[in-house]
Amino acid sequence: MATKPHIRELLAESACEHNQPKKTACNAPIPGATTGGCAFEGAQIALFPFADAAHLVHGPITCLGASWETRATPTSWPARDLTQVGLTTDTCLNDVVFGGEEKLAVAIDQTITRYHPQALFVYATCVTALIGDDIDKACREAAARHGIPCVPVHAPGFVGSKNLGSRLGGEAILTHLIGTLEPEVTTPFDINLIGEYNVTGDMWQYSPLLEELGIRILSTLSGDGRIAAIRTAHRAKLNVIVCAKSLVSITRKMQDKYGIPWISLSFYGQRDTSAGLLAIADALGDPALIERTQALVAREEAKLGEQLAPYRELFAGKKAVLNTGGNKTWSIAAALQDLGIEVVATAVRKATEDDRAKAREYLGEHGVLMMDPGAEQAKLIDEKGAHILLAGGRSLYTAIKKGIAFIDVNQEKKISYGAYAGLLNLAEDLRHALESPVFSLAGRRAPWNR
Amino acid sequence: MEQVKTRSRHKSSRSLQINPFKLSAPMGATLAFLGVHQCMPLMHGGQGCASFTKVFYTRHFAEPIALQTTAVTDVTAILDGGDYSISESVKNIVNKVTPQLIGLYTTGLTETKGDDVSGIAKRMEVPLVYVNTPDYEGGLEQGWSAACSAMIRQLTAPADSIDNNCLVLLPHVSLTPLEVEKIVDFMTAFGFNVVTLPDLSSSLDGHLGEKQAALSSGGIRVEHIRDLAQAGLVVSVGASMIPCAHELQKKNPQIRHHHFPHLAGLVATDELIKTLLDETGFHAPPLPVGRWRDRLRDALLDCHFALGKTRFILTGEPDMLAALCAIISEAGGKIAAVIAATDSSALDDLKADRVIVGDLGDVEDLAAADFDLIIGGTHVEALADRLGKGMLLRGFPNWEQLGNQLVHDCLYEGGAYFLCEMANVITRHQHHSGQR
Ligand code: SF4
């Protein structure tokens, strides 16, 4: 079976927001002016959360050596958490000259005998793709030898961005795993969560609510994911994409192939969480379920409202400037607003058209969408009298100079801001930042600088 | 007392790395260029290598990191011999900022396709140093030292006279910014004018300043690299830095070279002082040095009880391992195994039962009874927790703890702090695991 996905075809997916009107240029990074991760990283983000599968990276040391154990995607898998086991063939000069297939075959055997995974993913990277190592063959033969699914992932870094890589990772799942096993039971309320990676336990903030409503998470791609579950994903009644446009192509194909409808939503902030839960119930279409969901949403909102009351008092009149990228441009803005903080500006330089429209919707006509945040944010802090700046580490000094509080939103977060309960975590972090003495102390003038 | 010296070291027989702490040569070159003032490191490869590297160091140093990529794609990989992506990169960089130097270095991808970076570099009209660092060869130390040698080879002007007051320090990659500063201060106290290459002590030392991370800030100035060959002596620290010293001597054969495998513990610091006394003709070091020596001797006596009963596994870069091995064995600690990211002459004659070039998979293969405590980067944490072992975090990466740039384990002073910290970690671990 030829498993190399057709990159052009994937790029042409209408789901690639900035695809039209130009065809491929949107994905070509600019030499000397590029910051994002590569396609391999995207595949890693999408697939590594399967903790019951081994993830073998076929390439030189940079690809895995610098990247394993970097993302906190907790799992309830009771055996060894293979997400956090770094495995690589560590391609050396010899392999580059003579080919790395033999070494790969041995590495696969050693991985499987050592860890007994439920499946094995083999990731191509730039060097091994360039020298033409045949990972399809390696996987096919290994699957026959060991009797577990072995999935080749063709997302070497140089084919494109992180987003494309996530999509390629999803393609590999679709081609090799989905539909290869039947679930023991099915329910009318079986859903797949697509693109939810359970970073810092985000998914666990709302999965108990789904459970309470009688909605079953049949499988996930791939937060707290199980190989056995994703193999049965074709029997779900609904695909739910969580904050991950890059995987729309997968759900669309599943709709064509298995007739599964899909919706896309996010669980950031109170409004999105409530809307998300209701959207799932609506899509499943059961009147009793919809009623149950409405009641649950009302209950949770009331509970949260009570818990947030002291914070809202504290945050009354506070203004924030937000400088980040992607869906965070509006999702964090929405969460801040839920807490009663006015978001006076958000950066949209690195956002898609869709994200920009959403940002405009949330911020209203007076909110500023910054196209050049580096230059604009300092001015806006003064003009609008902002009290806090939420941005990447590079902007810290701006906040210090202005003597206002700062939160690094691009840092790997340690706790979840997801769903209702996560909003409390965010509120607590904001309170901390706003009350902390460090920002004005750090900006204090030295005694010799009169 | 004396432990058996290892006869030889062995490499893991596996065909894969399991939980590796090996880091790539381009990552080492990145750091070296970050030790130059107003430099833009430019990695010639796929965009992911630079992105991973940037995130890696940003988390380790808790600082913004300047780094760009030529962003080679599957299309340019085939159509372009590097000319296009490199010249486009340079154009786009200088459009936004004015670097004093661009540090251009390769990766596995661009070496595999055979780009001629030296030829391309010569055609560039900006200050630029190039170096070949395929990530399928060597590791962090080799990349750091290759970049350092390249800077000397391509920037330093030959000289035929020397200034005996001027000393060039060549620190290995694992010395922290504060350690470099302490070593410089130590030498300065003997009256030397010290220039460090690469110099992370003023660039990645975690100081608050108006940094936009557009370019590196702090570090050695390019004009000082040009003048290096006028120094009277060059001091290399770490086996990986010997080639750099030789490179400098090629620019001026009169420069005297002193090499130290490391500067950890009593004996090594004594050796450094002997050299500095010989070079200056002084009879004794400045006063505070002596006081710190007394404190270290006292720490050795205070800490030997805890360390002497502990069996260690040390993991990381070879030059750092040589240092740790020395100071721990000075205090009587038993080293069950040294596991190095890459092979190096730094691993010769270490006082350890085993010396392995490998990964954390090798630690899992050792009998659990073989050791009590493991030293290494962030990745050892999960392992120590799972096996119920004590641990101390040192080396790259350390994403869990803050203040990595302020860690100071070398010379008399750092040695005294290190031994006390080590002893405290051991005692606390024994307490928690119910041993006494
Ligand atoms: S760009 Fe290529 S070589 Fe670099 S990390 Fe990504 S896959 Fe690996």
Identify which of A62, A93, A393 has the shortest CB distance to residue B26: A62
Pairing mode, strands B311-316 and B256-260: unpaired
* Ligand 1 atom 7: residue of nearest CA: A157
Cβ–Cβ gap A158/B109 under 8 Å: yes
* pLDDT band (50, 70, 90) for residue A414: confident
Instruction: Please calculate the CA angle B396-B401-B402 and round it to the nearest 5 degrees.
Output: 100
Q: Kindly list the residues from chain A whose CB atom is less than 8 angstroms away from the CB atom of residue B27.
A: 62, 66
Fold that domain A7-176 belongs to in CATH: Rossmann fold (3.40.50)
pLDDT for the residue B8: 56
Nearest to B138 by CA among A61, A102, A104, A95: A61
Q: How many angstroms separate the alpha carbon of residue B88 from the centre of ligand 1?
A: 20
Q: Kindly list the residues from chain B whose CB atom is less than 8 angstroms away from the CB atom of residue A100.
A: none
Alpha helices in B74-229 (DSSP H): 74-79, 83-96, 108-112, 117-123, 140-155, 177-188, 222-226
Q: Kindly list the residues from chain B whose CB atom is less than 8 angstroms away from the CB atom of residue A106.
A: 15-16
Number of the ligand 1 atom closest to the C-alpha atom of B46 = 1
Q: How many angstroms separate the alpha carbon of residue A37 from the centre of ligand 1?
A: 9
Mean pLDDT, rounded, for A62-90? 96
As given in the structure block, the two tokens for residue A225 are 């994911």
Identify which of B93, B136, B210 has the shortest CB distance to residue A93: B136
Nearest to B46 by CA among A172, A9, A41, A154: A41
Cβ–Cβ gap A126/B52 under 8 Å: no
Q: Could you say which residues of chain B have pLDDT below 50? A: 1-7
- CB-based contact B422:B392 (threshold 8 Å): yes
Chains A, B: CB pairs < 8 Å: 209
Contacts of A275 (CB under 8 A, 6+ apart): A265
pLDDT for the residue B6: 46
* pLDDT band (50, 70, 90) for residue A349: confident
Q: Kindly list the residues from chain B whose CB atom is less than 8 angstroms away from the CB atom of residue A374.
A: 212
Identify which of A41, A62, A67 has the shortest CB distance to residue B135: A62
The model's pLDDT over A295-340, given as tens digits with 9 standing for 90+, comes to 999 999 999 999 999 999 999 999 999 998 887 888 889 999 999 9
Q: How many angstroms separate the alpha carbon of residue A41 from the centre of ligand 1?
A: 8
Q: How many angstroms separate the alpha carbon of residue A156 from the centre of ligand 1?
A: 7
pLDDT for the residue A426: 93
Mean pLDDT, rounded, for A354-358? 87
Distance from A51 to chain B by nearest Cα, in Å? 15
Q: How many angstroms separate the alpha carbon of residue B49 from the centre of ligand 1?
A: 5
Amino acid at A78: P
Write down the CATH number for the domain with range B25-138: 3.40.50.1980
Q: Does domain A190-300 have CATH number 3.40.50.12380?
A: yes
Q: Which of A107-121, A378-392, A428-442, B210-224 has the lowest mean pLDDT?
A: B210-224
Distance from B229 to chain A by nearest Cα, in Å? 32
Ligand 1: residue of A61, A63, A88, A153 to mutate (most ligand atoms within 8 A of CB) is A63
Higher-confidence residue of A406 and A397: namely A406
Amino acid at A108: I
Nearest to B422 by CA among B306, B325, B329, B316: B306
Write down the CATH number for the domain with range B10-18+289-433: 3.40.50.1980
Give CA–CA dist B5/B354, Å, rounded. Answer: 9
Pairing mode, strands B311-316 and B193-196: unpaired
Number of the ligand 1 atom closest to the C-alpha atom of B109 = 3
Contacts of A77 (CB under 8 A, 6+ apart): A51, A52, A224, A226
Ligand 1: residue of B54, B109, B110, B113 to mutate (most ligand atoms within 8 A of CB) is B109
Q: How many angstroms separate the alpha carbon of residue B40 from the centre of ligand 1?
A: 20
Cβ–Cβ gap B52/A95 under 8 Å: no
Ligand 1: residue of A158, A159, A166 to mutate (most ligand atoms within 8 A of CB) is A158
Q: Among all chains, which residue has been given the structure tokens 């922290």? A: B176
Amino acid at B12: S
pLDDT for the residue B9: 65
Fold that domain A308-442 belongs to in CATH: Rossmann fold (3.40.50)
As given in the structure block, the two tokens for residue A363 are 């911020």
Distance from A49 to chain B by nearest Cα, in Å? 16
Give CA–CA dist B89/A196, Å, rounded. Answer: 35
**For B264, which DSSP code?**
B
Pairing mode, strands B17-18 and A87-88: antiparallel
3-state SS class at B231: strand
pLDDT for the residue A76: 98
Cβ–Cβ gap A130/B42 under 8 Å: no
Measured between CA atoms, the residue of chain A closest to residue B399 is A70
pLDDT for the residue A162: 93
Higher-confidence residue of A234 and B62: namely A234
Q: Do domains A7-176 and A190-300 have the same CATH topology?
A: yes
The model's pLDDT over B131-172, given as tens digits with 9 standing for 90+, comes to 999 999 999 999 999 999 999 999 999 999 999 999 999 999
- CB-based contact B145:B29 (threshold 8 Å): no
Radius of gyration (Cα) for chain B, nearest Å?
A: 22
Mean pLDDT of all residues in chain B?
Answer: 94
What does chain B come to in residues?
436
Cβ–Cβ gap A60/B20 under 8 Å: no
Write down the CATH number for the domain with range B163-286: 3.40.50.1980
Nearest to A435 by CA among A423, A447, A444, A427: A427
Each domain of chain B, given as residue ranges in start order, spans 10-18+289-433, 25-138, 163-286
Cβ–Cβ gap B16/A61 under 8 Å: no
Cβ–Cβ gap A92/B69 under 8 Å: no
Give CA–CA dist B186/B285, Å, rounded. Answer: 10
Ligand 1: residue of A27, A41, A57, A62 to mutate (most ligand atoms within 8 A of CB) is A62
pLDDT for the residue A99: 94
The model's pLDDT over A168-204, given as tens digits with 9 standing for 90+, comes to 999 999 999 999 999 999 999 999 999 999 999 999 9
**pTM confidence score:** 0.94
Q: How many angstroms separate the alpha carbon of residue B200 from the centre of ligand 1?
A: 26
Q: Do domains B10-18+289-433 and B163-286 have the same CATH topology?
A: yes
Mean pLDDT, rounded, for A374-386? 92
* pLDDT score of A26 more than 60: no
Q: Kindly list the residues from chain A whose CB atom is less than 8 angstroms away from the CB atom of residue B88.
A: 30-32
Most confident region among A49-53, A396-400, B111-115 by mean pLDDT? A49-53
Partnered with residue B316 across adjacent β-strands are B340
pLDDT for the residue A19: 38
